[in-house]
Chains A and B, each alone.
Chain A
Amino acid sequence: MYSRDYRDIVGGALLTLSGLAFAFYAIARYDLGALRRMGPGMFPVGLGFVLALLGALLLIGALRRRGPRSEIRIWTPFFVLAGVAGFALMIRPFGLIPAIVVLTIVSSLAELKFRPASTLILTVALCLVAWLTFKVGLGLPMQMFRWPF
């Protein structure tokens, strides 16, 4: 436990800032119009200020109470997201199978344990499953392999 609810203080501040940024971006870029004929900017500006207000409420409420200690993990989310990002990078130039290989190997590291044998088997199995379901079964127009150079 913290002596203050830092989780909600930081969260509330983030929400307020995002709300204000959203509202001012809308004011700067889009036509507000009038109440009887609203432009594209009016609704977003309203939303931004409402979010900022809610964030402020959250922050103020959190100042006066004790709060829990959030568990923040860095490497597990990193490897999961990096695996997905790897898929996004590989799929266009190299095709589906290399993308799955990268995704499986990178995201397996999120366990923070390296198991070469089981990862290898899993990778092969998943490539097979993907090929059977998406290419053979559903007939999606996806290239399995590609070579961009």
Chain B
Amino acid sequence: MDILSNVALGFATALTATNLFYCFIGVSLGMVVGVIPGIGTLATMSMLFPLTFILDPTTALIMLAGIWYGTGYGGRTASILLNIPGTVANAVTCLDGYPMTKQGRGGVALFMTTVASFVGGSIGIVLLMLFAPVIASYALNFSSAEYFSLMALGLVAASTISEGSAVKGLAMVVLGIMFGMVGTDVYTGTTRFSFGRLELYDSISLVALAMGIFGVSEVIASVRKVDVGDIRATSVKLSAMKPTRDDVRRSWMPMLRGSSIGAFFGTLPGTGPSVASFLSYAMEKRVAREPQRFGKGAIEGIMAPESADNSAEMTSFIPTLSLGIPGSATMALMLGVLMIHGVAPGPSLMTDQPELFWGLIMSFWIGNVILVILNVPLIGVWIRLLTIPYHLLYPAVLMFICIGTYSISSSPFDIWIVVFFGFLGYLMRIFDWPAAPVLLGFVLGPMMEEHFRRAMLLSRGDFATFVNRPISATVIAITVAVLAWGIYSSMKERRTAGLDATDGE
């Protein structure tokens, strides 16, 4: 009953002309960006970030979220047709998707994964609708000690699980929190680390930081590295998209299993779509009767990861929207949009701003439908997009980065910040330091300090407050376990494999 009126409210919000329009813009852009290697989701989202200042927060979130799940649809197009993963989460789709293309079944693969994405996305949305309000109402009783513990868990998990070295990930989180310290201290009004620059009294601009560390450094890394894909458009015949009855029969269970794995890992901080899609592929291979078919164009091998990917993309909104604690850098950007618009993220979001919350969730349905409609007929266009040479593309990307940053406060200083973080981002690539934890730490850092200091104030300087409260103690215990496991496994990995090669996103 209650949920029905919320759904109605959500659709009423999501279906206004403005919101529909920006939802469309978001998902189409996401799809385009997903197809083209060398432009990441985070870079695009940060490029469009300034545009969100002129929109109201609901519309802004609808658009940015559209980019986020739109890349999931676009990313596997490149994986299936060209054996190039458009995004990290789609890398595993190459394993069976590309062989299918070589067998002339690329059309079937694209069509079936569209279905998988839609089913995975839908399951994710349903879970989001059911669980986010429950968690939020529970979280209303949380105090600063719980919040601090939860944020610590989020940061530790995000930095140790998904990337290669746990120590490097943690170091980058700390570095990010340090950048978050720049500006005016909330309790005393002291300006910290501003080095006398008036522009830094407020804080480092989130957009400038994200643009530098993801946008500019990605351009630097891709120039002279990304080549035009070698594509024969004839390899995909649109007429050959109809799956056989055997394909459909084989796809049901992998799709459902993939969706559940995705839904679970999406909610956990640090894991998200990439981990979910890899794990679901591994699981399909394990449960399959003939595992030797995998890697040679088994349809199960594309259905499971794609549904897991999309389902995780949806459920990763659960902690972000219900607790105000983002589990990934992308979600941190979403939270940044909210905060810039003066909307306080946290459990009261759902009661204070029901039209924002439900409007956003309902826009996911609409966005997913738009993606299904757009994706299939436009395959030819996506393929042609891949033929734009990168040397024409990257100056355009840089231009959008510069104008976007400048437009926020008409300050050339912010562009110098982009240069600084672009350089830092390049250094980080040389040292193989992951970039996503920096952004996560930057967004969460100030909140974490605030809650830490408040918790310590309330407990009169006693650290035991974090372990005396049952919820906080549980979360701290999980954090310690994750930390120990992360360090242990990264040491083991080093001993066996010698080296790890991962790239951040």
Contacts and interface: CB of A to CB of B under 8 A. Distances in A.
B416 A88 contact: yes
Given A104-B395, A122-B395, A37 B419 contact: no
A103 interface: yes
Contact of A91 (B415, B461, B498): B415
Interface string B394-433: 1110110111001100101001101100110010001111
Given A36-B460, A89-B412, A138-B54, A47 B419 contact: no
Given A77-B423, A81-B419, A51 B175 contact: yes
Is chain A's interface secondary structure helix, strand, loop, or mixed overall? helix
Interface string A1-38: 00000011011001100110010011001110011111
A44 B181 contact: yes
Contacts, number: 176
Interface residues of A, number: 73
B419 A88 contact: yes
A38 B54 CA distance: 38
A99 B402 contact: yes
Contact of B457 (A26, A36, A130, A134): A36
B170 interface: yes
A70 B221 CA distance: 13
A80 to B, nearest CB: 5
A54 B453 contact: no
Contacts of B416: 85, 88
Contacts of A38: 187, 453, 456-457
A79 B193 CA distance: 29
Contacts of A57: 167
A8 B431 CA distance: 7
Interface of A: 7-8, 10-11, 14-15, 18-19, 22, 25-26, 29-31, 34-40, 42-44, 47-48, 50-51, 54-55, 57-58, 61, 65-68, 70, 72, 76-77, 80-81, 83-85, 87-89, 91-92, 96, 99-100, 103-104, 107-108, 110-113, 115, 118, 122, 126, 129-130, 134, 138, 140-142
Given A26-B192, A81-B216, A96-B403, 4 more contacts: A39-B190, A91-B402, A91-B415, A122-B395
